[in-house]
Amino acid sequence: MMFTADKIALLVATMKRNGVAELEIREEAEELRLVGAAGVRPTAAISPRTAGRMVSATAFGVLHLERQAGAAVEAGEIVATVAAGPLRRPVVSPIAGRLTRMLARQAQRVEYGTPIFEILEGKERS
């Protein structure tokens, strides 16, 4: 038996942590398919109660910062990228505002939901 209960539990935990909804693995003669129940959500990194909101990673990989703390950004603007192999995927700001605090380092390994910047909502542009 390749897929022990421990191994499956580990896979499920990894899926949850990274916001993976569906996983299919084939190992030799065995096949395993894991589907997250509806409502399985990645760990939310946004807390509406704090003054600053977060810009968080949306993929697993190596972080490349495109903006620094202090930068004014628009909603949808790319503030960082996450590299997996030769591919880079965008991390965009969910709102217009100013990046107030850097919460991750350049070249750090990030997962789905890893906070990258704290952002203070506001319309001003630098």
Partner 1 sequence: MIEILETPPLNTMQDLGRVGYRCHGIGRGGVMDRLALAAGNALLGNDDGEAGLEFQLFPVRLRFTRETAFAVTGAHCEARLAGRRLPPWWATRAQAGDELVLSSPRKGMRAYLTIAGGFDVPQVLGSRSTHARDSFGGFHGRPLLAGDVLGNRAHAPFVFRDSAGVGATPAEEAVPAAPCEDLADGETVVRAIRAAEFDSFDEASQTALCRTPWKVTARSNRQGYALSGTPLRRNALLEMRSHAIVPGVIQVPPSGQPLIQLAEANSAGGYPKIGVVIEADLWRIGQLPPGATLRFVLCSLQEARAAEQASDAYLASLRRLAGYCRKAAA
- Do 105 and 115 form a contact (C-beta atoms < 8 A)? no
Examine residue 16 and tell whether it contacts partner 1 (CB under 8 A): no
Among 10, 35, 40, 84, binds partner 1 (CB under 8 A): 84
Quick one: CA dihedral 69, 93, 117, 60, positive or negative?
negative
Q: Which stretch binds partner 1 (CB under 8 A): 12-20, 26-34, 40-48, 89-97?
A: 89-97
Compute the chain's Rg from CA coordinates.
Answer: 17
Q: Which residues pair with 119 in a beta bridge?
A: 53, 99
Cβ nearer to partner 1, comparing 77 with 120:
77
Residue 90 in the binding site for partner 1 (CB under 8 A)? yes
Any contact of residue 36 with partner 1 (CB under 8 A)? no
Residue 85, interface with partner 1 (CB under 8 A)? yes
Q: Is 48 in the site for partner 1 (CB under 8 A)?
A: no
Which of 6, 50, 86, 126 is the binder for partner 1 (CB under 8 A)?
86
C-alpha distances out from residue 14 to 49, 81, 94, Å: 28, 21, 25
Q: What DSSP designation does 24 have?
A: E
Residue 13 has φ and ψ, to the nearest 5°, of: -60, -40
Task: Decide if residue 74 touches partner 1 (CB under 8 A).
Answer: yes
Q: Which residues bind partner 1 (CB under 8 A)?
A: 58, 64, 66, 74, 76-78, 81, 83-90, 92
